[in-house]
A and B are shown apart, each in its own frame.
Chain A
Amino acid sequence: MNTRFDEIENRIKDLLASYLESSGLPELEQHGAISGNTNLVSDFTLDSFQVMEFLMEMEESFDIMIDMNNLSNAHTVNELAKVVDALLEK
């Protein structure tokens, strides 16, 4: 239905999976597939600097600038996708 949003969400899932893999974090196996409800903070052991690193990869992939203040209410992949969607809308 909402294909653009789904695309964004899927891309975030892919980015997250490859970020976890490249960081050598084994959480992915334990966690199973990443879904929209995957919580970046509590489902993985990313520290605040790793979160920033991942956000940078998102910025580069979507060619946007994410203001951290916009993310103060985002916990899950789905909520992140909403922020990106709104930024791309502008």
Chain B
Amino acid sequence: MEQKPIQGEKKVFMTGNETVAWAALAAKADIMYGYPITPQNEIMHYWTRLAPKHNRKFLQTEDEISAGFTTVGGVLSGKRAFTATSGPGNVLMQDSLSMAEMMRIPIVMVVTQRGGPSTATVIYSQQETTLTCFGGNGEGIRVVYSTASHQELFDYTIKAFNTAWKYRFPTFVLGDGYQSQMREPLKIYDPDEKGIEFVPAVAQLGVEGEAGVDRDPIHLRNTYNMEDELYEVVRGLVDDFKAVAPEIEEYREQDVDDCEILVVAHGIVSRAVEGAVQQLRREGIKAGSFRPITLRPFPEKHLRRNAEKARKMLIVESAEGQLRRLAADAIYGCQTPMEGLFRPGESITVEEVVQAVKGLL
């Protein structure tokens, strides 16, 4: 029998990209399709070294358009396929992602955000929030996990495969260049030993039996002739997504019970925010934090519950209001004033958040 990629549980010190490669192996991913772009590259580097030892496959494609569509093909054929990209590559992949959104193709994609717009930097940013949640000509029928640590990169990459195949929505792990490139201690583990059950991958094409003889052929399309016909399909997608949203939604709260200033952040920025809240509390300032872990579906009710209790809100992000738009939409009608600390493409420190909160007092 083939040896498992990870035996039991191991404490490791590795980069985020290496973590993702190990997580995909542990999640029984069959094949990765990819195209080089910084800061995502090492996911492929580690995967190409590890995959052949565990009978997994890799294809380096001609561009991200192809990487997205080959991933779609792999998933349609019933394999646990994934890809990873960043920035301009994320833009190109939206072509295939809108097809995945329309046709319920459970592709898994890891996004290592880099600065934008355009080519910009390869370092770090949260400017792919809107793109990842709502890219393509679609309605944002996607699941987006925004991770904040290497442990989460490992946990949520594994989870992404299960979410994708359980609900059949394209599923994203939204990281960033800092998470990709820095090293951090974490525990990697064999998911079987943790009792994580894997949702089986099911083929949408090339199933048992001869089409037209043993069974009807499977005809998959994303083109429709009539408005009504399309409306019915999209309404179905939206309703299905809304129905399971409460099961999928995840968030994290800190000191929210009596907080006056509610600080909202996602991804790695939330670590600065949580550090700031601790410091502010030590100084006797009633701050708390809310972190949406899923950006799609957005944990609307939970943010609203906290926002309505607070005197003021502060949105902190490494983008010019992309999280703010998600939050404002989620709590529409809530009277709590909402301020922003926006640093597009730049990191945010504990001290900056502390200062910004104090400015609201």
The judgment on whether A and B are partners is no
B positions within 8 Å CB-CB of A: none
